[in-house]
Amino acid sequence: MKPGGWFDRRGWSDIIVGVPYAWAIVFILAPICIVTALSFAVPVLNSPPYQFVHTWPFVSIASFQRLFTDSIYIRSFSVSLFNASIATVLCLLIGYPMALGLTRVSKAANRVLLMLIVLPFWTSFLLRVYAWIGLMGNNSWFNRLLTVLYNILVPQAWHLANIQIMYTNFAVIFVVVYSYLPFMILPLYANLEKLDRTLDEAAMDLGSRPYQVFLDVTLPLSMPGIIAGGLLVFIPSAGELVIPSLVGNMSDPMIGAIISQEFGLNHDWPMAAAISVALLFVLVVPLMAYTRYQSRAEAGGAP
Amino acid sequence: MKRLSTFLLTMMALGYVYLYAPIISLIVFSFNKSRLVTVWGGFSTVWYARLFENTQILDAAWLSLRLALISATVATILGTMAGIALVRFGPFRGRTMLSGLISTPLVMPEVLTGVSTLMLFLLMAKWIGWPARRGFSTLLIAHITFSMTYVTTVITSRLSAIDISIEEAALDLGSTPWQVLRDITLPVISPAILSGWLLAFTISLDDVVITSFTNGPGYNTLPMLVWAKVRLGVTPDINALGSLIVAVVAIGVTVSSVVLTRNERRRERDIQAALLGDH
């Protein structure tokens, strides 16, 4: 094929490539470069509040040193990664049976049920969080239900009038799972739907029990869906800013709140930049490694 | 194995209860007479009336709507251009970097996009004197940027599924590239362009985090206003607002899915007819 593809008249193809390219360089690449550069600067009382070191090696790793020594940052990093991991596992445990169920219903039911999974995504994210705030409060029906369940399970001596759900880490995980569940179900469903059902039948015919068929056939084959859904849940929930600010325990903040606080409240741009770079490393580098591994596996593993 | 087991059925039922319990509760309590959002005090539509008297909310909704309309349109144009370039222009120089840049905002937590975009705006203000103040223009740029990446994803996945041979045939028959683009490529991907626009519109309308970094004083979008209000406590007029949004979305989705299903059926009938030679 011609080097410019089918659209080979110079002027036009240059515009079609050039305009979005320029936009992406100025508004996507430049901000990332700025954050990376600023993470090696030092904070000063000026406007803008940072400065680069004027002597060799011109970079300061003071912000990164603080990141690894100050307990605030270590603590908030662990809280974020912990919450995101638990939320991802819970999304998988709830989403997997739902996605599997969606592949087993009639075509008409499937259409409606899939639409019901997507529908909340089109409504306001904030209002769905807001709806839970009402439900988790101490005198709502949901809280009373949980309290009754709790009181049935525990000995008389530990009975509670109501369970404190709001402003706890549990509330954050609960609402994060709720908000990101569709992101787990949809890639899982897309993957499970494509699986060859005859493999299940073959395993059954050869005497496998249903749970064995699931463990030996369905689960391994759905691994790409699990990983895709897992990443779609894990990455945004680790950097979540809105949900913890509304239902979380503010004295034990997640990393998103720390970044916004360092930047907005403390005017410590280099520190905010250093945390951002570290978060990017923790979240995006494994993702890139996975993508590379997958594309290599596809290239090498195809029969 | 085709049969739905009791376990899967139970899990699905519980899952849908989990997804819809808060939304239904939100709608029910929007008709509550009492100020308390969790205690039923009789039926009333007072909060809807209150909502339409609240100029602050109406102004914010109008700002959000303008922002979403303009940013979705620009993002769709840019995203379609990027999608065509990535799928149809062959291996041009810098292609890998373009596709990498476009996918970056999709995999970054929003707080990073927000903070880095704000740093860019602040440094630009310092170096080139623009944007002097943050407001509609900075919001617009930020919204266009992240919406564009979603549109590009929609366009590329649609375009790679379409056979290039029709376009090549038209070129061989003497069409100019511009004619091919106008008469074949764009009409063929028009459903993807439409769904890309809708996606961009919804994302812009709903965004909180990136907006919270790039907006200026006096530019409160609807989600920003709701966020600020909810932080102070729950009030029933927000329930009314939420119910209205759910109603609009449910109607929109139902209508569009009915239309799409009908088109799909008609297309299938046409294909059948064509295969049977029944003109």
pLDDT one-digit tens code per residue, A91-117: 999 999 999 999 988 888 998 899 899
Q: Is the CB of residue A122 less than 8 Å away from at least one CB of chain B?
A: yes
pLDDT of residue A302: 41
Number of structural domains, chain B? 1
Say yes or no to pLDDT of B58 above 80.
yes
Give the residue numbers spanning the domain of A202.
70-254
Given an 8 Å threshold on Cβ–Cβ distance, is B4 in contact with A48? Answer: no
Domain-embedded: residue B243: no
Residue A27 covered by a domain: no
A120 within some domain: yes
Q: Which of A48-52, A115-119, B274-278 has the highest mean pLDDT?
A: A115-119
Would residue A121 count as lying in a domain? yes
Question: Does the residue B31 lie in any domain?
Answer: no
Does residue A248 belong to any structural domain of this protein? Answer: yes
User: Does residue A232 lie in a domain region?
Assistant: yes
CATH number at residue B127: 1.10.3720.10
Which of A136-150, A267-281, B202-216 bottoms out in mean pLDDT, i.e. has the lowest? Answer: A136-150
Query: Number of folded domains in chain A?
Result: 1
Q: From the CA of A134, how many Å to the nearest CA of chain B?
A: 6
Q: How sure is the predictor about A299, in pLDDT bands with cuts at 50, 70 and 90?
A: low
C-alpha B102/C-alpha B157 separation (Å) is: 14
Distance from CA of A174 to the nearest CA of B (A): 10
Q: Is A158 on the interface with B (CB under 8 A)?
A: no
In a domain, A77, yes or no: yes
Beta carbons of B92 and A4 less than 8 Å apart? yes
Is B268 part of a structural domain of the chain? Answer: no
Residues of B within 8 A of A182 (CB-CB) are 19
Is A259 inside any structural domain? no
CB B212 within 8 A of CB A261: no
Name the pLDDT band for A190 (thresholds 50, 70, 90). Answer: very high
ipTM: 0.89
The answer to whether A87 contacts chain B (CB < 8 Å) is no
| One-letter amino acid of A129 | V
Q: Which spans in chain A are helix H? A: 10-24, 30-38, 62-69, 71-104, 107-122, 125-136, 141-153, 169-194, 197-205, 210-213, 219-221, 223-238, 242-247, 255-264, 269-301
- Rounded average pLDDT over B193-207: 91
Residue B221, domain extent = 59-233
Report whether pLDDT(A276) > 80: yes
| Shortest CA distance from B27: residue in chain A | A131
Q: Is residue B278 part of a domain?
A: no
Q: Which of A128, A137, A246 sits opposite B231 (nearest CB)?
A: A246
| pLDDT exceeds 90 at position A32 | yes
Query: Which of B:77-136 have CB within 8 Å of A?
Result: 78-79, 81-82, 84-85, 88-90, 92, 94, 98, 101-102, 104-105, 107-113, 115-120, 122-123, 126
Is the pLDDT assigned to residue B64 strictly greater than 90?
yes
Q: Is B3 on the interface with A (CB under 8 A)?
A: yes
The CATH number of whichever domain residue A218 belongs to comes to 1.10.3720.10
Chain B residues closer than 8 Å to A95 by CB:
15
